[in-house]
Amino acid sequence: MVSPTAENYLKALFSLTAERGEVNITELSHLLQVKLPTANSMIKSLHEQGWVSYEKYKPLSLTPKGKKKAALIVRKHRLTEMYLVDKMGFGWEEVHEIAEQVEHIDSTIFFDRMDELLGNPNVDPHGSPIPDKNGEIQQKNHDPLGVFKPGEKAKLVALAHSSSDFLKFLNRRELLLGAELKIESIENYDNSMVVSYENHPFETFSKVVCDALLVERLV
Amino acid sequence: MVSPTAENYLKALFSLTAERGEVNITELSHLLQVKLPTANSMIKSLHEQGWVSYEKYKPLSLTPKGKKKAALIVRKHRLTEMYLVDKMGFGWEEVHEIAEQVEHIDSTIFFDRMDELLGNPNVDPHGSPIPDKNGEIQQKNHDPLGVFKPGEKAKLVALAHSSSDFLKFLNRRELLLGAELKIESIENYDNSMVVSYENHPFETFSKVVCDALLVERLV
DNA sequence: ATAATTTGTTAGATTAACTAAACTTAATAT
DNA sequence: ATATTAAGTTTAGTTAATCTAACAAATTAT
Ligand SMILES: [Mn+2]
Ligand SMILES: [Mn+2]
Ligand SMILES: [Mn+2]
Ligand SMILES: [Mn+2]
């Protein structure tokens, strides 16, 4: 129905439109690392096939049909990542590249079995939600650690993004999803936070890091 | 380096050349379900890239480099099938279609981990040998059940082919790899064999079936 | 030996995915 | 208001993978 290439376009549109609901082709072409005319002509074709709403010179968005399609690819991606971590012992920083390929496999039984063996998880190893079989996604609105005050406690539940560098940064500090963080103090100078968690008393995290750590308040 | 399409051509050549060492383009095009000129032009391109030995109007073969490449794709295919059966609970008749896609994934760590989790198996779920990391394959020369005589015993160790219909046929008769077969009698009329094995006394197998069951003699 | 058939090749087209270059429209700065 | 810049589109051309139709070579049958 759609090629892996087209699937990657839909997925890119899905994440780019997640907040604003609209994207321009330039952003899309940057994310996908293709030239502007390449993205332009693919968009025309996706529009003709009913995946994308689009008028010349206007920003674009996914149709409901396109959004569902994209969510189901994201589902395959995130199930795969979860499977690779939970069942095959990969680190959370190793799985994205593999999932980027596995997500294009066309086999209902394969992904259904993964889902079953994992016990129908609803988040991937980075805390991102896994859309259900209908492409519905329940967006949790987590706060970044940065909004908390000294003395408060919070549990790490997700990451704002999962770049390899960020994941390795967290690995080096043994900070995992589920960790209970206590804010010890905040530096006025650069808004960095001093935080304690299991076996790591008084770690200092820059503002950049704190904004990427998504947490839930504890008691 | 090579596209999934080209990988499928190499794999097809690998299996077609397994016995005779040479194939003609017509056979190849039939196996791959493409028209003759399509195969012809792909062969020209694979020849230019050094994967295939080829002269106009002559039958073709894989170069050593092409043979190794193909064996490594077969390795990924068979490891995948083994993984799907052993670790994910699929039936041996369900795995080929999935493996046909997974074999094109480009990730050393992924297949190395599969191999490791499986304990470095040397056969796939149908008893076909898994080439090693250098593309070396140790071809066991198994006998078909058809060459045995009444009163003899043999262990089922592989299948001459793994078509879905054949696998379902075996499923219905609960005949698995490793089964110990005793030849009870042979019908002169159609060369069918009457065979007993665990919980299945006196099953009759046609000549076609007997030739596809590869066995090892027991004491 | 010649004809018929099978097998393989070439030519010409199409579609998908991509690019560079040229052009147009929209946004922004002076 | 006009010039400059940014964003988007079109055109023309490439490569990979496929096809149909026409043709050529090799094999088999008469
Ligand atoms: Mn990912
Ligand atoms: Mn992908
Ligand atoms: Mn197979
Ligand atoms: Mn394949």
CATH of the domain at A45: 1.10.10.10
DSSP labels, B79-124: HHHHHHHHTT---TTTHHHHHHHHTT---HHHHHHHHHHTTS-SB-
pLDDT, tens only, B19-76:
888 999 999 999 999 999 999 999 999 999 999 999 999 999 999 999 999 999 999 9
Provide CB contacts within 8 A for A96, sequence distance 6+. Answer: A81, A162, A164
- Whether residue B1 has pLDDT greater than 90: no
- Give the per-residue pLDDT at B141: 87
**pLDDT class for A139, splitting at 50, 70, 90?**
confident
Residues of B with CB under 8 A from a CB of A: 84, 87-90, 94, 97-98, 101-102, 105-107, 109-110, 113-114, 117
Domain boundary among B29, B62, B95: B62
- Give the per-residue pLDDT at B48: 95
Tokens of A124: 């991937």
In a domain, A133, yes or no: no
Rounded to two decimals, the pTM is 0.95
In a domain, A171, yes or no: yes
Domain boundary among B16, B36, B62: B62
pLDDT, tens only, A33-78:
999 999 999 999 999 999 999 999 999 999 999 999 999 999 999 9
> What is the nearest nucleotide to A58, using C1' and CA?
D8
Q: Chain-centre distance of CA A179, in angstroms?
A: 19
Number of domains in chain A: 2
Nearest to A137 by CA among A77, A49, A51: A77
In a domain, A198, yes or no: yes
Neighbour count for residue B2 (Cβ, 10 Å): 17
**pLDDT class for B140, splitting at 50, 70, 90?**
confident
pLDDT, tens only, A75-113:
999 999 999 999 999 999 999 999 999 999 999 999 999
CB-strand contact A34/C, under 7 Å: yes
Domain boundary among A46, A62, A78: A62
- Give the per-residue pLDDT at A30: 95
- Whether residue B219 has pLDDT greater than 90: no
In a domain, B138, yes or no: no
Its domain, for residue A183, covers 143-218
CB-strand contact B45/D, under 7 Å: yes
Q: What is the mean pLDDT of chain A?
A: 96
* Ligand sitting nearest the alpha carbon of A80: 1
In a domain, A77, yes or no: no
pLDDT, tens only, B110-131:
999 999 999 999 999 999 999 9
CB-strand contact A6/C, under 7 Å: yes
- Give the per-residue pLDDT at B21: 87
In a domain, A119, yes or no: no
Find the residue closest to C19 using CA and C1' atoms: A35
Using the mean position of ligand 3's atoms as its centre, give its distance from the Cα of residue B97 in Å: 7
* Ligand sitting nearest the alpha carbon of A77: 1
In a domain, B67, yes or no: no
Percent of chain B with pLDDT strictly greater than 90: 95
DSSP labels, A45-69: HHHHTTSEE--TTS-BEE-HHHHHH
User: End-to-end distance of chain B based on CA atoms, in angstroms?
Assistant: 49
Between chain A and chain B, how many beta carbons pairs sit less than 8 Å apart?
Answer: 38
Mean pLDDT for the stretch of residues A154-161: 97
In a domain, B108, yes or no: no
